[in-house]
Structure 1
Amino acid sequence: MKTKLEKMLKFPCSFTYKIIGLAKPELIDKIVQVIQFRLPGDYIPQIKSSNKGNYLSISISICAKNFSQIEILYRELSQINIVRMVL
């Protein structure tokens, strides 16, 4: 059964992940590394720091060819130990 999101998207399409994680220097590199493993290319993440500086919010866009790519990356990004949330 297709999800609402899957029904709304027409592939290939641009899809943006928003990842919130601990403000560690390696966070951005780990995120880009996971994405590049599945979809090689150049990625320019947009980074914002929380008010207290404990967390980073990273927005990064990909060009998805199908819905399974979106799901796989969501799962793999969520498994990074310093990531707290993937939207």
Structure 2
Amino acid sequence: MRKKLQEMLTFPCYFTYKIIGLSRPELIDQIIRVVQLCIPGDYIPQVKSSNKGNYLSVSITICAKNFEQIEQLYNEISQISMVRMVF
């Protein structure tokens, strides 16, 4: 999967992460903080709440210079305790 994704992308490119996490106000702040540390910039995530309000879906788009940035950020976001899935 990794090799196929690498072949599909031409850098620099925009890449969107979709993150599912617990519905807590600090989730969005933590995601933005991690993204800012890896790839500084102005980010305005799109946020949607689940039907029951237990989870948030957060989409955030970055401009990646290489595949390593995409991987690093994926791993960093995955380490946030309130995050349940990153794709």
TM-score band by shorter chain is over 0.9
Give the TM-score taking structure 1 as reference length: 0.97
Query: Which residue type is aligned with residue 41 of structure 1?
Result: G
Q: 1:74, CA displacement in angstroms?
A: 0.3
Which aligned pairs between 1:19-58 and structure 2 lie closer than 5 A? 19-58=19-58
Query: Which residue type is aligned with residue 20 of structure 2?
Result: I
User: Any runs of at least 4 consecutive aligned residues in structure 1 with deviations exceeding 6 A, and if so which?
Assistant: none
Query: Which residue type is aligned with residue 7 of structure 2?
Result: K
Where 1:10 maps in the other structure, the secondary structure is coil
- Would you say how many aligned residue pairs link Structure 1 and Structure 2? 86
Q: Which residue pairs with 1:15 in the alignment?
A: 15
CA distance in 1, matches of 2:64, 2:12: 5
Identity %: 71
Q: Please list every run of 5 or more consecutive structure 2 residues that lacks an aligned counterpart in the other structure.
A: none
Q: Which residue pairs with 1:74 in the alignment?
A: 74
- Asked if 1:86 is matched to 2:86, the reply is yes
Q: Which residue pairs with 1:59 in the alignment?
A: 59
Bigger helix share: 2
Q: 1:50, CA displacement in angstroms?
A: 0.1
Where 2:11 maps in the other structure, the secondary structure is coil
